[in-house]
Amino acid sequence: MKNKIIVGIVVIVIIIIVVLALESINNPSEFTVKVTPFNIDHKGKGRALLAEGDNIFEVWVYEDEMTSLAEGGARVFDHQYFGLKPENSEIYNELGILNDSQKAIFVVPIFTITAYGDEGFYEFYNGKCDEKCIKEIPIRHDLPPNYQSSDNSIKVLRLLGYPFITDIEIEKNPEILKKFDKVIMLHSEYVTKNEFDAVTKHPKVIYLHPNSLFAEVKYSQKNDTITLIRGHGYPSSEIKNGFGWKHDNTYPYEFDNTCEGWKFYEIDNGIMLNCYPEKIIFTDYKLLKMIKEY
């Protein structure tokens, strides 16, 4: 009798493990990405608050990342960090999706992160490197996003409970976007043809950053690398958008980062923002509300 009870318990445990494993596979929030900006270890480092008062989030930088002095004595930093304020819990319920039934996802632009890295595409564009800097470039899983790759947007959307995937997951399985009611694109300047088709065929996309879907790259799953194929003046200078995309909104919107009087406008498969929102994404309640409610 005792042995039967033990066997029964073991069977129940196995069933529970299998069920949890299946749920993990099917749950979009369980997608992981090897990019490192989310849990950088600053243990023992000084933290300087940048914003207080009525701001939506707590905002700070780390002293070890404040690299130099600008004119007027201001310190220069590349990364900001955000935290939730207990007193703003009702605001987070309004802006977040943790308790919401919608199936939304945002895309971490890992190909764009890689393109902007050392010995990446921009060293080729700037004449500092030959074509070796646009061919078979290793994916920079080690490189934190920055202004060019939607660093602030990534952090804020994660705080609000949005799940995410990367360009790589879409390239491997373009059908994956069909699982979601809404897709949020950040500054995904560099994408594959598979990703471009998957995004532009989805019926409900928020293009949160201008200059998205600008140049075509090829991803090698075997080598975990990207190669520039077409766009951004390559292979000839007159080529701008590598896909000839009619909705490309790079000019002039990519260069407006003040976003005064920002607005979304409609295209055939979603809405586009008319400015680059990295400096307001963590302060603008109306923008975050629009992202949720669209």
Contact 92, 84 (CB under 8 A): yes
Per-residue pLDDT at 141: 93
Residue 1 pLDDT > 60, yes or no?
A: no
Overall average pLDDT of the 252-262 stretch? 95
Higher-pLDDT residue of 40 and 198 is 198
Query: 7: pLDDT confidence band, cut at 50, 70 and 90?
Result: very low
Higher-pLDDT residue of 61 and 285 is 285
The per-residue pLDDT for range 177-197, each reduced to its tens digit, is 999 999 999 999 999 999 999
Residue 289 pLDDT > 50, yes or no?
A: yes
**Hey, what amino acid is at 146?**
N
Overall average pLDDT of the 20-44 stretch? 39
Per-residue pLDDT at 178: 96
What distance in Å separates the CA atoms of residue 108 and residue 35, rounded to the nearest whole number?
9
Per-residue pLDDT at 101: 76
Per-residue pLDDT at 154: 96
Overall average pLDDT of the 45-72 stretch? 70
Domain residue spans of the chain:
96-293
Tokens of 54: 């009525």
Residue 20 pLDDT > 70, yes or no?
A: no
Per-residue pLDDT at 98: 78
Nearest CA-CA partner of 180 in 246, 270, 263: 270
Higher-pLDDT residue of 83 and 50 is 83
pTM: 0.82
Overall average pLDDT of the 77-102 stretch? 87
Contact 113, 149 (CB under 8 A): yes
Close Cβ partners of 86 (under 8 Å, ≥ 6 residues apart): none
Per-residue pLDDT at 22: 36
Residue 45 pLDDT > 70, yes or no?
A: no
Residue 145 preceded by cis peptide, ω within 30: no
Beta strands in the chain (DSSP E): 47-51, 58-62, 66-69, 75-77, 81-83, 104-108, 137-138, 164-166, 182-185, 190-191, 205-207, 215-220, 225-230, 264-267, 270-273
Tokens of 58: 């707590």
The per-residue pLDDT for range 225-249, each reduced to its tens digit, is 999 999 999 999 999 999 999 999 9
Per-residue pLDDT at 274: 98
Per the prediction, the chain carries an average pLDDT of: 84
The per-residue pLDDT for range 113-159, each reduced to its tens digit, is 999 999 999 999 999 999 999 999 999 999 889 999 999 999 999 99
